[in-house]
Amino acid sequence: MTSPSSPQACLGVFDSGVGGLTVLRELRRQLPDVPMLYVADTAHAPYGQREPDYIIRRSLTVAEHLIAQGARVLVVACNTATAHAIGALRQRWPDLPIVGTEPGIKPAVAASRNGRIGVMATPSTIASARFADLIARHAGQTEVFSQPCPGLVALIERGELDTPALRQLLMQLCEPLIAAEVDTVLMGCTHYPLIQSALQQALGPQVQLLNIESAVAQQTAKQWQALGVSGQAAPPILQTTGSAEALTGFVQRALAWPLQAQALRL
């Protein structure tokens, strides 16, 4: 039986920064009555330009905090952390349901009309063995053009969601994909849906953009419902190892959520 001092059971979600908020948004839509705690590890972002061992250490540290705060299901709302750290997380907590976020190669292949797809992701995600395995298992005869996007997450973290600098970088990143005549591009980082409109403009109307937030939320919902845990509905709690003021401003501008973020030292 839960003691009065035990933390309330909740859904724990984390990312290197604000990107995972796109997953949290979908989780709130599909699980409106579930308490949620989100950690943005902004002081250590972006993960996409870190070494794998560093990503693993940070992921374990943040996960430990979320579990101590009552997380009964853990959502790794970061493609890079999933690629490098989800194995270590599952080894550390084998009985904890852990849902990762991976580039949806299989649905992108199914959606393509000409058999040529692009994947935009962080350099670390694209360099990972897990990403290579996804392509090997699901690409089949489809040609996959992987486009690393250094610097893109940093712009988004600074709140540059529609600036000349962002548009210039997107044009540079999309040029090889346009030249490759891909008809489908997968957003392989949870930050990228925050700039989906600008990205679509850079790619052109002939390219369809895919994300995977809905699939992650659906899988999470199954894991949560299987636990049979009841929780008291409440707005999500947002915590960050960076600036609480900056995160508060970001969610209010980008997502129109009237929430106040909390500073966190981890």
* Annotated binding residue 80: yes
* Annotated binding residue 15: yes
* Annotated binding residue 12: no
- In the residue annotation, 78 being an active-site residue is answered as yes
Pick the catalytic residue: 10, 78, 149, 174? 78
* Annotated binding residue 79: yes
* Annotated binding residue 47: yes
* Annotated binding residue 48: yes
Sign of CA dihedral 55, 189, 73, 252: positive
Pick the catalytic residue: 10, 149, 174, 189? 189
* Annotated binding residue 6: no
Sign of CA dihedral 145, 148, 152, 153: positive
Cα gap 207→181, rounded to integer Å: 9
Question: Whole-angstrom distance between the N-terminal and C-terminal Cα of the chain?
Answer: 29
* Annotated binding residue 44: no
Which of 34, 7, 36 has the alpha carbon at shortest distance from 20? Answer: 36
Half-sphere exposure (Cβ direction) of 256: Cα atoms closer than 13 Å:
0
Identify how many contiguous H helices and E strands the chain contains and give both numbers.
Answer: 11, 10
- In the residue annotation, 189 being an active-site residue is answered as yes
Binding annotation for substrate: 15-16, 47-48, 79-80, 190-191
Supply the residues annotated as catalytic.
Answer: 78, 189
